[in-house]
């Protein structure tokens, strides 16, 4: 076997090995990238759930004000309750 042919064959084998290693690294990084994207979506979902829970908790104040008021509730209390419920509905 001639020396130039041996060098070409060795270079091709080394190139294949390097490409294989790079492919393996890229595949691993791609899996990490997808996992990070899924984690980001989960964090956004948790943030929306916490905002909805916050709005539900905030609605308790106006409800207690209307329930503790006289029988025909004060219109200002009822309006505050209506706004709080609209905010909660929007968050949900």
Helix (H, G, I), strand (E, B) or coil at 21: helix
Which residues, at least 6 apart from 70, have a Cβ–Cβ distance to it below 8 Å?
Answer: none
What is the per-residue pLDDT for 63?
84
SS3 of 47-92: HHHHHHHHHHHHHHHHHHHHHCCCCCCCHHHHHHHHHHHHHHHHHC
Q: Quick one: pLDDT at residue 78?
A: 84
The model carries a pTM of 0.57
Give the count of beta carbons closer than 10 Å to the beta carbon of residue 70.
Answer: 6
Do 91 and 51 meet the contact criterion of CB atoms below 8 Å apart?
yes
Angle at 18 between CA 13 and CA 21, to 5 degrees: 125
Closest CA to 69 of 59, 58, 81: 81
pLDDT tens string for the chain (92 positions)?
799 999 999 999 999 999 999 999 999 999 999 999 999 999 999 999 999 999 888 888 888 788 877 777 788 888 888 898 898 888 88
């Amino acid at each position: 076997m001639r020396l130039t042919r041996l060098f070409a064959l060795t270079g091709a084998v080394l190139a294949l090995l390097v490409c294989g290693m790079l492919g393996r690294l890229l595949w691993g990084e791609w899996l990490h990238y997808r996992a990070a994207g899924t984690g980001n979506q989960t964090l956004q979902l948790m943030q929306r759930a916490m905002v909805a829970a916050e709005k539900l908790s905030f609605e308790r104040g106006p409800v207690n004000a209307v329930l503790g008021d006289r029988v025909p509730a004060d219109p200002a209390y009822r309006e505050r309750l209506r706004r709080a419920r609209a905010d909660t509905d929007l968050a949900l």
